[in-house]
A = this chain, B = another copy of it.
């Protein structure tokens, strides 16, 4: 049973505000792919826009460029090994969804593959063609056109990181398969 519900677009950028490592999904024709990306960030709240670094050598870049769309899924801590795995092998060597037993639905607006089991959230993104940034920095800008989150950790526009939802705590890649899990939520005091 999925606990996912749609997220208002006004809150979509909050899903990656804190720098989680994400899974980038893509599809074009009969081909599809999924890779891990540590380098992504929002660039605007309204309209929700993001930037993500997708190396021009990757199969994901080929599919995203061809289709003009991609998905971002935010894996929970329980998907750490899978996140590392899909970041370690190329989809050109065989379909990673099949190889790793990943079940993906299709996003409601763009039809990109989206994962729910084990993920905290997903976003459907439409590429904003920016040839120079793509060429010079492998940085792809995109607009988020739909999003959803597991209501056990993100609801009504707010994250709620608690001990009882530890499997959904976000992953942050330090390098070489070492991750840190963002598990302790704290409220800062406003300045006097």
A2 within 8 A of B: no
Show 24 residue pairs from A and B whose CB-CB distance is below 8 angstroms, ordered by the A residue.
Answer: A17-B173, A17-B174, A18-B21, A18-B38, A18-B174, A18-B179, A19-B19, A41-B53, A51-B51, A77-B186, A81-B189, A81-B191, A84-B191, A85-B188, A100-B191, A133-B133, A170-B180, A177-B187, A177-B188, A178-B186, A178-B188, A180-B182, A181-B186, A183-B184
Other 12 A-B pairs with CB < 8 A, given A19-B38, A39-B41, A170-B180: A14-B174, A17-B173, A18-B172, A18-B173, A18-B180, A43-B137, A51-B51, A88-B191, A139-B139, A169-B180, A180-B183, A181-B184
Which one of B53, B130, B174, B188 lies within 8 Å of A43 (CB-CB)? Answer: B53
Q: B190 contacts A88, CB within 8 Å?
A: yes
Size of interface on A: residues with Cβ below 8 Å to B: 56
Interface residues of A (CB under 8 A from B): 14, 17-21, 38-44, 49, 51, 53, 77, 80-81, 83-85, 88-89, 100, 130, 132-133, 137-139, 141, 158-159, 161, 169-170, 172-175, 177-191
9 shortest interchain CB distances as A-B pairs: A19-B19, A84-B188, A18-B172, A85-B191, A180-B182, A177-B188, A181-B184, A39-B41, A43-B137
Choose among B85, B100, B137, B179 the residue that contacts A51 (Cβ–Cβ < 8 A): B137
For the complex, what is the distance from the CA of A106 to the CA of B109, rounded to whole Å?
A: 49
Contact of A38 among B17, B172, B179 (CB under 8 A): B17
Q: Which residue of B lies closest to A100 (CB)?
A: B191
